[in-house]
Amino acid sequence: MNTLILQPDAPDTVAIAAQIIRDGGLVALPTETVYGLGADGLNPLAVDRIYEAKGRPKDNPMILHVTGMEQVETLCHHIPPCAYALAEAYWPGPLTMILPAREHIPKRTTGGLSTVAVRCPDSVVTRQVIAASATAIAAPSANLSGKPSTTTVQHVLHDHDGKIEAVIDGGACRVGVESTIVDLTETPARLLRPGGVTPAQLREILGDLTVDKAVTAQLGPDEIARAPGMKYRHYAPQCQVVIVAGSREKAAAYIHAHYQNSDRVLCFEEELPLYKNCNPLAYGREADARTLCAGLFAALRELDDPKVRMVYARCPEGEGVSYAVQNRLKKAAAFQIIDAEEWG
C-alpha cells in the first residue's frame, strides 16, 4: 500500500481523510500531544486494523476523539457536571476523560470495559476530519506498541509507511507527551496518566484528585492497572535506561564513573558541558519543562539504536508538566532509578 502524505491546508485533505475513515481505513492524525493512529471508533473491524498495525495487546482500549461535549453525550451516559466543567476549561486540549460507555460502543474499542476514554484534540484539521467522518475517531499514539510515541510525520512513517492509507502532516507536536487521563467514574476523580494538563489544573476544577499508583510506581504482578496500557513496558528504546537522580554534580560524578564507550547520556541542555566526552543528547531545558515534554520522544527514538548499550537519563523534578516527563521516563527506565546523592 502507498501511504498518502496529506497537507493540512490542501483543499481536499479533510474530505480524503474522512472518506478513508468512513471506509474502515487508517489515517495518522496530528494532535497537540502526539500523532494518533486514527480509525472509525464505532467500527470494530476498523479498530482491529489499529491493533494489527501497532501490534497492540487486545485488552488495551482506545481513546475516542470527538469535537466536543455534544458528541460525548452520544457516546457516554451518567456524565457528571465536572466533565462539562473540565471540557469548558481544557478542551480542545491535552485532556482525556474516562466516562461510562453507552451500549453501542464496540467492545473492541473499550477493551471490554464498561467505560470509554474521550478527548477533544487541539488540532483544527483533526477536528475537521472527525466532523466530516461523522463518527468518533479511535486514535492511540501512532507508535508501534511499546516504542516511544510519534511526535513528527517522520516518526509515523518510520513505524507505518506502506501499512496505513494516509498521514496528515501537521509538523512537530506542540506538547509532545500524550494527554492527561482522568477517570471521572469514581469520586474523587483519579489521575491515570499525567500530561499537558497538570494535577494543579485538574484540582482547580475538581477540588480533590487521587493519583493512581501506576503514575509513580511499578505495579506488582497481581495489581490491576486502571488504565490497561500502563501495565506494559512502554516508551522504551531497546537498550537499558537508568535514571540518575540527584544534584548536577553528583549525577555527573556517578555517570562518569560508570560510563562505557557505547553508552549515551540523556540530559538537560544546561548539563551538556558536563558530559562532553559521554556522547550526550539534550532533550530540552531543565528551566522550561515544556521543552522537555516536546523533545522527550524524539530523543528516546534517537536512542533506540542497537549500538547503544545503556542510557543514563536525567529527569526533571516537580509537579507541573515535569510530572508527565517523570512518568514517561520512569516507565522507559522500568522504574530503575539510582540516587547519585547516596553513591560514593
Question: Could you say which residues in the range 247-276 bind Mg ion, by CB under 5 A?
Answer: none
**Minimal CA–CA distance to 235: which of 128, 176, 148, 107?**
148
Instruction: Say whether residue 201 binds ligand TXA (CB under 6 A).
Output: no
- Which of 241-279 are b and which e, b meaning 16 or more Cβ less than 10 Å from the residue's Cβ? bebbbbeeebbbbbbeeebeeebbbbbbbebeebbeebe
Instruction: Say whether residue 141 binds Mg ion (CB under 5 A).
Output: yes
List strands edge to edge, sheet with 310-313: 280-282, 264-267, 310-313, 240-245, 337-339
CA-derived radius of gyration, the chain: 20
Grid cell of 322 as nine digits: 515535569
Count of residues engaged in binding ligand TXA, rule: CB under 6 A: 30
Among 27, 215, 227, 311, binds ligand TXA (CB under 6 A): 227
* Minimum CB–partner distance for residue 164 and ligand TXA (Å): 14
Q: Classify strands 180-183 and 95-100 as parallel, antiparallel or unpaired.
A: parallel
Among 41, 92, 140, 170, binds ligand TXA (CB under 6 A): 140
284 contact choice in Mg ion, ligand TXA, none (CB below 5 to 8 Å, kind-dependent):
none
Taking contact as CB under 6 A, which single stretch among the options 29-37, 161-169, 242-250, 263-271 is the one that binds ligand TXA? 29-37
Sign of CA dihedral 333, 335, 336, 337: positive
Instruction: Say whether residue 145 binds ligand TXA (CB under 6 A).
Output: no
* Minimum CB–partner distance for residue 177 and Mg ion (Å): 10
Instruction: Say whether residue 26 binds ligand TXA (CB under 6 A).
Output: no
Query: Which residues make up the interface to Mg ion (CB under 5 A)?
Result: 141
Query: Which residues make up the interface to ligand TXA (CB under 6 A)?
Result: 31, 33-34, 36, 60-63, 94, 96, 98, 110, 113, 115-117, 119, 121, 139-141, 178-179, 181, 192, 226-230
